[in-house]
């Protein structure tokens, strides 16, 4: 990943107007790790429209599990939201995992803030189930919401 590409991903994230500066900084570090880490701890898929980043997903194997994967970041540029980009990215994650495995569990952790309502709705529409919440996790009145989805070859 080139420096220019990293900035394009960050631009897409900023466009959502959902992430605070600390979250953008963490995303920047993860993107740097995607670029520098040859062990492939992170996988990144992107979708483009008109040569611009429409969205991207970063996921990776969950440590100490046999077949669990974490979706760390799923970001769709504000101008592309509601057009199936998030659904397509999640579908690509599932397809890639099922090429190598007969099944897997996907896990997503997200915020209960109102800004994340569309993200939570996307996960639900794509067959993820809410596994639980930890109240006041991120800050007062901002719960951690945990979703999961079991996938398998049919």
Beta bridge partners, 152, equal 103
In CATH, the number for domain 3-152 is 3.40.630.30
Contact 16, 78 (CB under 8 A): yes
Return the domain boundaries, the chain: 3-152
At 43, is the pLDDT very low, low, confident or very high (cuts 50, 70, 90)?
A: very high
What is the average pLDDT value for the chain, to the nearest integer? 93
**What pLDDT shows up at residue 121?**
96
* pTM (two decimals): 0.93
- Over residues 46-64, the pLDDT tens digits come to 999 999 999 999 999 999 9
Using an 8 Å Cβ cutoff, are 89 and 77 in contact? no
Specify the pLDDT at position 35: 81
Per-residue confidence band for 8, with pLDDT thresholds at 50, 70 and 90: very high
Percent of the chain with pLDDT over 70: 96
């Amino acid at each position: 990943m080139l420096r220019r590409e990293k900035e394009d991903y960050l631009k897409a994230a900023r466009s959502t107007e959902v992430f605070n500066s600390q979250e953008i900084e963490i995303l920047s570090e993860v993107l740097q790790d995607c670029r520098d880490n040859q062990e492939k701890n992170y996988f990144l898929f992107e979708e483009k429209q008109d040569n611009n980043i429409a969205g991207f997903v970063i996921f990776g194997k969950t440590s100490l599990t046999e077949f669990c994967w974490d979706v760390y970041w799923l970001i769709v540029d504000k101008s592309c939201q509601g057009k199936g980009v998030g659904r397509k990215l999640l579908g690509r994650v599932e397809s890639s995992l099922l090429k190598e495995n007969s099944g897997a569990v996907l896990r997503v952790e997200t915020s209960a803030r109102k800004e994340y309502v569309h993200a939570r709705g996307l996960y639900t529409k794509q067959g993820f189930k809410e596994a639980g919440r930890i109240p006041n996790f991120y800050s007062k009145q901002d719960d951690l919401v945990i979703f999961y989805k079991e996938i398998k070859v049919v």
